[in-house]
Homo-oligomer: A and B are copies of this chain.
Amino acid sequence: MNRPTICPKFEKAISLLSQRWTALVIYQLLSGTQRFSEIQSSIGISGKVLSERLKDMEHHGIVKRKVIPDTPVIIEYSLTEKGMSLEPILREIENWSQLWIQLENVSS
């Protein structure tokens, strides 16, 4: 019932990138190393889901996690080479959004 007309690598990439929040987190990290709470406040994701996503991305080799045993502890997240290689995709989306997306008026 489910014959893979579509390339499985492509499908895998899509399912990774279209996980909710994943692309936004990567986009944030494109501008450099950030801490948990910075990412959280910049994209408005809940702590629960952010910690899930960061774990997933670590497993996928997209994000690096560095623990600095200061007090309180500092944990820095950054992109790996694989993560960085997603930049062209995000830039295409950014570019497309400027050309084709129009904002609705969200309360005056």
Q: Which residue from B13, B19, B96 sits with its C-beta under 8 Å from A18?
A: B19
**Number of A residues, CB within 8 Å of B:** 42
Is A92 in contact with B89, judged by CB distance below 8 angstroms?
A: yes
Find residues 12-51 in chain A having any chain B CB closer than 8 Å to their own CB. Answer: 12-14, 17-20, 22-24, 27-28, 41-44
Mark interface residues in A1-19 (1 if CB within 8 Å of B CB, else 0): 1111111111111100111
A1 to chain B: which residues have CB within 8 Å? Answer: 41, 44
CB distance from A44 to the nearest CB of B (A): 3
Is B6 in contact with A93, judged by CB distance below 8 angstroms?
A: no
Mark interface residues in A83-108 (1 if CB within 8 Å of B CB, else 0): 00110110011101111110100000
Residue of B nearest to A42 (CB): B5
The answer for the CA separation of A27 and B12 in the assembled complex, in Å, is 14
